[in-house]
């Protein structure tokens, strides 16, 4: 998506091969006009997949995922990162280790909001090692939902996330695929 790639080149800050800061338009300050365009693009790509729910992880995936859900006319379900102190009987959880951030967290989903009739589109801001996406897939499969696809804003294509997900049989649609990232350098695939 040219609009997003141009914005990454003009405002993104590559700190090293792990960290691309996009906090002025995606993560901390959010350009809602851009999110609207992103939402429509991802929604259009998956429009024939009979999506019934859009799922994302709190919190930086929420604005783009919300716009995808809006464009598809379906509810958004937000997976929580903190485990509930009181684990209700209707909550399921899985442990996710983020190699990028060097932390581990529990991803929680209430069983009332996804079921075996759902076709779920997972939307997130970044895809790198794919730990968040595979954790989400584990929860969704536990509830026997169909994974309609995975929509990503920024993919670190030099990391194994995409191939892990494709090997598991899922379609991954990424708006900006980064081939090479190092201090001050951002290069996209297909350029």
| Footprint on this chain of a copy of itself (rule: CB under 8 A) | 23-24, 27-33, 35-36, 58-60, 62-63, 66-67, 69-70, 73-78, 80, 110, 112-113
Query: Smallest gap, in angstroms, from Cβ of residue 87 to a copy of itself?
Result: 14
| Residue among 27 and 129 whose Cβ is closer to a copy of itself | 27
Query: Smallest gap, in angstroms, from Cβ of residue 14 to a copy of itself?
Result: 16
Query: Smallest gap, in angstroms, from Cβ of residue 27 to a copy of itself?
Result: 8
61, 69, 83, 166, 172 from 27: Cα distances, Å:
8, 19, 22, 26, 21
| Backbone φ/ψ region at 144: left (φ over 0), alpha (ψ -120 to 50), beta | left
Is residue 50 within 8 Å of residue 119, measured between CB atoms? yes
Secondary structure class of 59 (helix, strand, coil) = coil
| Residue among 58 and 166 whose Cβ is closer to a copy of itself | 58
- For residue 84, whether the previous peptide bond is cis, meaning omega lies within 30 degrees of 0, is no
Query: Smallest gap, in angstroms, from Cβ of residue 187 to a copy of itself?
Result: 26
| Residue among 25 and 172 whose Cβ is closer to a copy of itself | 25
């Amino acid at each position: 998506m040219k609009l997003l790639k141009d914005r990454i080149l003009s405002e993104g800050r590559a700190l090293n091969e792990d960290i691309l800061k996009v906090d002025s338009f995606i993560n901390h300050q959010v350009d809602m006009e851009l999110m609207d365009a992103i939402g429509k693009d991802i929604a259009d790509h998956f429009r024939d997949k009979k999506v019934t729910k859009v799922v994302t992880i709190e919190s930086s995936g929420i604005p783009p995922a919300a716009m995808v859900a809006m464009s598809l006319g379906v509810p958004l379900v937000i997976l929580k990162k903190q485990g509930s102190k009181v684990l209700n009987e209707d909550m399921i959880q899985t442990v996710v280790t983020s190699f990028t951030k060097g932390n581990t967290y529990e991803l929680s989903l209430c069983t009332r909001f996804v079921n075996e009739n759902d076709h779920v589109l997972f939307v997130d801001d970044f895809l790198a090692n794919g730990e968040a996406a595979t954790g989400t897939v584990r929860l969704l499969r536990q509830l026997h939902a169909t994974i309609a696809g995975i929509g990503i804003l920024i993919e670190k294509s030099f990391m194994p996330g995409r191939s892990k997900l494709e090997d598991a049989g899922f379609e991954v649609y990424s708006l900006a695929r980064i081939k090479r990232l190092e201090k001050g350098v951002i290069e996209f695939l297909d350029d």
